Structure 1
Amino acid sequence: MNYLAARGPKLQNFVTISLIQLACRITKFGWFDDDRFREIFKEATDFLALASQDHYLIGLKILNFLVMEMNQANSAMPLTLHRKIATSFKDQFLLQIFQISLTSLHQLKSEVPDELRRVPISLALRCLSFDFVGSPVDESSEEFGTVQLPASWRPLLQDPSTVQIFFDYYKVNDTSVSKEALECLVRLASVRRSLFVEDPARSQFLSHLMSGTREILQTGQGLADHGNYHEFCRLLGRFKVNYQLSELLNVEFYGEWLGLVAEFTTKSLLSWQWASNSVYYLLSLWSRLVTSVPYLKGDTPSLLDETVPKITEGFITSRINSVQASFADNSPDPDNPLENAESLQDQLESLPYLCRFKYESCSLFIINIMEPLLQAYTARSRLPASGDAAELSVIEGQIAWMVHIIAAILKIRQTVGCR
């Protein structure tokens, strides 16, 4: 640490990082051997107190790699020991480190080098991504459950500036910063409900999240970047995972927010080639919303009757159009979901719930698409084999999509015991 303090600003970045990683690794392995190993937190904060911007950056990097090291299992250390160390570190220092990241974010909102913005936002994300309950995480999956923040974090989460600072950083032109800001918001939206003891506090937190996403939906700022777009879809998808429909309805601008989300979903469906992996989260949101309607109490309209049929029709239409587009240049899509059972299942997972919400109108829409396709297929099959094979392939692909869609709807109806 003394070497970093004296020579750190003059060292190459990879050398600085290697020294920090070494110090953090030694700290973890000696955590229970001597209390002096735990002084790394104070030493890192000493860097932050120095006037030099370079030293401030090094201090943030030390905390960043320290959180990462403590949260990451090591093959040279028994898993039980790793969890004990991680728990001890979490209880003693993690909240303070998260507070430091927030303070740094507030201090660095003005004109500063991009790297100075990236490090504190990355530090905040590492804190929010910490394994708070000692459960293994599937690193290959984007899905995660509820974020189990300790009760001691409650005052920080109830402070409106905590959520707002991440929405502010989303507006930064640096896409790596804006994407990580959205990732932080995804985790904040996933915080356990019981963290908020009183309903008003939870409602205020939800309202702030909805207000921030409403502004993004209104302006479209940053959504031209695919990474931002994907994370924003994940953020929207978390609303119904962690909050009840009745809570969403109680937000003053729920109607406006829902309309903007519906418009955003429709546009995403039309841009299926660009947003195919992101639409899953949007459809999951809508499916969870409609399945909550039977349990909704009170007379406040959910407004889903107006929006869900359009989204359902938009999805079906986009699947039909995707077949035509894939053959437009005589080169079928190598990632065609019809050739991938897992991808097909992901795309159709939420659709049955949307269709069942307005089953009669959805059925008529499907029939109006299916009948002309069958007629066209019958007529085309009677033509000589030397005809346009691509045209027949398009019709077959469109019929295949419709068959899968109908099968998915019938399957889910049978599963839930509907007649």
Structure 2
Amino acid sequence: MATEAVLEPCTNHRPTSYAQLLAATCLSKLTSRITPLPIEQRTDIRNYILHYVASQPKLAPFVIQALVQVIAKITKLGWFEVQKDQFVFREIIADVKKFLQGTVEHCVIGVIILSELTQEMNLVDYSRPSAKHRKIATSFRDTSLKDIFVLACSLLKEVLSKPLNLQEQCQQNLVMQVLKLVLNCLSFDFIGNSADESADDLCTLQIPTTWRTIFLEPETLDLFFNLYHSLPPLLSQLALSCLVQFASTRRSLFSSPERTTYLGNLIKGVKRILENPQGLSDPGNYHEFCRFLACLKSNYQLGELVMVKEYPEVIRLIANFTITSLQHWEFAPNSVHYLLTLWQRMVASVPFVKSTEPHLLDTYAPEITKAFITSRLESVAVVVRDHLDDPLNDTTTVFQQLEQLCTVSRCEYEKTCTLLVQLFDQNAQNYQKLLHSPSRTTLDIAIQEGRLAWLVYLVGTVVGGRLTYTSTDEHDVMDGELSCRVFQLISLMDTGLPQCSNEKIELAVLWFLDQFRKTYVGDQLQRTSKVGFYYKRFFKNVIRDEERCIHVLAVS
């Protein structure tokens, strides 16, 4: 075979590695042609590459990866081909087991082959009929994927059964590749829905019924929780990623008692992590753990969560973790989305809970809201003085977080309203004093305007939250108290134009007016709320003539 001469090692290592990569790339294109090579040639190529990587286990990683991709493509495209009454290309799994019986380097190669094969089977090739791809993927799922998953879990159990020597790069690489293999198995497109990558990643995992016994074994979840606590951050992050998939397993896989037991084991694992939070100081671990928490509520009902024995302690720990996370807003800002998703869905579920067990959200939701509000106000001075990226400039993220907060903020709304009224009055007074102070500085003005911008955003958020949560006439009065202050601020800034002009406050005002319009300006206003009475009184105090009142409502 012409390829053999290229793959064989030369005296100069660097040219050899890239020559091998070129040969592997050519083989990949050759074996992926629409008109395939004869089955005998493809079998020879596959067998030769298997022999070659077995005899050269210390090849450059990118060369091994390229050669393994060739094996995976040959196996996928020839999955249904028969030679002498045998599916010749399905023997790859038996061939890989030979690698697992060798050195650590051979084990790594074997695991990489299985991992790449799993990914390749899951990858849609749009140059070929999608029906053929689905037929191959379904057959692979039914005949091989479970065995690969069980094999990967058994390798991880062996890792934990003996002292870990993760100072050795080979050992660390082996654990990493096995965890990636497990993650690829759990991420498989089991039902062929080819989910849009831009969709919410907190989706349900459609595990086949034949896997049910594996998931029912408590040792399966314990294995990955133990790995998280035993491995360094680079590897423990992968263990948490696997746990995210376990938490996303479809509810219908279990009977009602089994689901309760499975959820209880997940909650115990959460409690264990939060009681020993050292690993969460790593941004990767922190992010995956936030995803894990969001998946729990995405997949399980609040009524099921409150029935778990450890729920009161765990919800307290999660609340403290969330508050700490919000206070350290600069640590991992992209992860806050998942924490707010968790609390938004928890609070939104309160009206539907029929269990007599306390959900405790009336205790912790106001604390979460307060932590978000105060942390954002406190961040302004740090951002301005240290010239950091201002979160207010990322309006997409700000709007997303505010829309999540609006539901949480309406739980025990009296506390939220009291806090916002106090903060708004205090900061508005400070702003007025600054405007009339001869000793004011640009820095002081920027800080105060940043705080007011956040407060206007927050008032718009809680007012908009009326549409997402059970509201009362008393709540409408509170909305009036808050909205009145924003209209007063608008009046104050209009009288001081152009000196008082600030783009961030103006954008915040537009956000508030939009939320106010959606909530209180419309055909249904008279039938759904008595708020019109309160706003009429407020407008008389704030706006001195009818034309001004019409102008404000027109803007909204």
In 1, Cα distance between the equivalents of 2:262 and 2:135? 32
Alignment counterpart, residue 41 of structure 1, candidates 76, 86, 93: 93
Determine the structure 2 residue equivalent to 1:316. 373
Question: Which structure 2 segments of 5+ residues have no match?
Answer: 1-46, 166-170, 472-528, 530-556
The yes-or-no answer on 1:282 pairing with 2:334 is no
- Higher RCO (C-alpha under 8 Å, 6+ residues apart): 1
The yes-or-no answer on 1:292 pairing with 2:344 is no
Per-residue CA shift, 1:23-82, capped at 9, x if unaligned?
11111122233321222122112322x243333222211111100111112344333322
Determine the structure 1 residue equivalent to 2:205. 147
How many Å apart are 1:140 and its aligned residue?
5.5
In 2, Cα distance between the equivalents of 1:359 and 1:387? 36
Determine the structure 1 residue equivalent to 2:495. none
Q: Specify the code of the residue in structure 2 equivalent to 1:12.
A: A
Per-residue CA shift, 1:150-202, capped at 9, x if unaligned?
11111010011111111111123432210010000001101110000x21211
The two structures have a TM-score, normalised by structure 1, of 0.93
Determine the structure 1 residue equivalent to 2:216. 158
Partner of 2:346: helix, strand, or coil? helix
In 2, Cα distance between the equivalents of 1:159 and 1:8? 39
In 1, Cα distance between the equivalents of 2:470 and 2:268? 39
How many Å apart are 1:341 and its aligned residue?
2.3
Determine the structure 2 residue equivalent to 1:22. 70
How many Å apart are 1:216 and its aligned residue?
0.9
Determine the structure 2 residue equivalent to 1:77. 128
Alignment counterpart, residue 271 of structure 2, candidates 203, 210, 214: 214
In 2, Cα distance between the equivalents of 1:126 and 1:178? 16
The yes-or-no answer on 1:184 pairing with 2:242 is yes
Q: Specify the code of the residue in structure 2 equivalent to 1:152.
A: T
The yes-or-no answer on 1:11 pairing with 2:68 is no
The yes-or-no answer on 1:100 pairing with 2:151 is yes
**Which shows bigger deviation, 310-319 or 292-301?**
292-301
Determine the structure 2 residue equivalent to 1:124. 182
Determine the structure 1 residue equivalent to 2:303. 246
In 2, Cα distance between the equivalents of 1:193 and 1:210? 15
Contact conserved, 2:146 with 2:211, CA < 8 A, in 1? yes
Determine the structure 1 residue equivalent to 2:525. none
Alignment counterpart, residue 325 of structure 2, candidates 268, 274, 294: 268
How many Å apart are 1:337 and its aligned residue?
3.1
Determine the structure 2 residue equivalent to 1:340. 394
Larger Rg: 2
Kindly tell me: are residues 347 and 175 of structure 1, through their superposed partners in 2, closer, same or farther at Cα, counting changes over 3 Å?
A: same
In 2, Cα distance between the equivalents of 1:101 and 1:16? 20
How many Å apart are 1:326 and its aligned residue?
0.4
Determine the structure 1 residue equivalent to 2:109. 58
Which runs of structure 2 are paired with 1:331-410 in the superposition (5 Å)?
331=387, 333-334=388-389, 336-384=390-438, 387-410=440-463
**Which shows bigger deviation, 343-352 or 121-130?**
343-352
Contact conserved, 2:427 with 2:452, CA < 8 A, in 1? yes
Partner of 2:356: helix, strand, or coil? coil
Per-residue CA shift, 1:98-117, capped at 9, x if unaligned?
11110110011222511121
Determine the structure 1 residue equivalent to 2:281. 224
How many Å apart are 1:321 and its aligned residue?
0.7
Kindly tell me: are residues 416 and 361 of structure 1, through their superposed partners in 2, closer, same or farther at Cα, counting changes over 3 Å?
A: closer
In 2, Cα distance between the equivalents of 1:95 and 1:206? 22
In 2, Cα distance between the equivalents of 1:292 and 1:142? 19
Question: Which structure 1 segments of 5+ residues have no match?
Answer: none
Contact conserved, 2:224 with 2:243, CA < 8 A, in 1? yes
In 2, Cα distance between the equivalents of 1:176 and 1:159? 27
Determine the structure 2 residue equivalent to 1:68. 119
Partner of 1:273: helix, strand, or coil? coil
Q: Specify the code of the residue in structure 2 equivalent to 1:84.
A: K
Q: Specify the code of the residue in structure 2 equivalent to 1:407.
A: G
**Which shows bigger deviation, 153-162 or 15-24?**
15-24
In 2, Cα distance between the equivalents of 1:415 and 1:219? 36
Contact conserved, 1:171 with 1:221, CA < 8 A, in 2? no
**Which shows bigger deviation, 91-100 or 296-305?**
296-305
Per-residue CA shift, 1:313-346, capped at 9, x if unaligned?
01100111111110123x2x33x23222211112
In 2, Cα distance between the equivalents of 1:389 and 1:158? 62
How many Å apart are 1:294 and its aligned residue?
1.4
How many Å apart are 1:141 and its aligned residue?
6.2
The yes-or-no answer on 1:259 pairing with 2:316 is yes
Alignment counterpart, residue 134 of structure 1, candidates 185, 192, 208: 192
Per-residue CA shift, 1:208-241, capped at 9, x if unaligned?
1111111110111311110001111111111111
How many Å apart are 1:6 and its aligned residue?
4.4
How many Å apart are 1:304 and its aligned residue?
1.6
Contact conserved, 1:245 with 1:289, CA < 8 A, in 2? yes
**Which shows bigger deviation, 91-100 or 33-42?**
33-42
How many Å apart are 1:274 and its aligned residue?
0.6
How many Å apart are 1:417 and its aligned residue?
8.3
Contact conserved, 2:247 with 2:295, CA < 8 A, in 1? yes
**Which shows bigger deviation, 5-14 or 38-47?**
5-14
Cα RMSD, aligned residues only: 1.9
Contact conserved, 1:287 with 1:351, CA < 8 A, in 2? yes
Kindly tell me: are residues 395 and 126 of structure 1, through their superposed partners in 2, closer, same or farther at Cα, counting changes over 3 Å?
A: same
Per-residue CA shift, 1:134-158, capped at 9, x if unaligned?
1223445672410011111110100
In 2, Cα distance between the equivalents of 1:328 and 1:402? 20
In 2, Cα distance between the equivalents of 1:3 and 1:299? 64
Partner of 1:212: helix, strand, or coil? helix
Contact conserved, 1:148 with 1:191, CA < 8 A, in 2? yes
How many Å apart are 1:84 and its aligned residue?
2.2
Report sequence identity in percent: 40
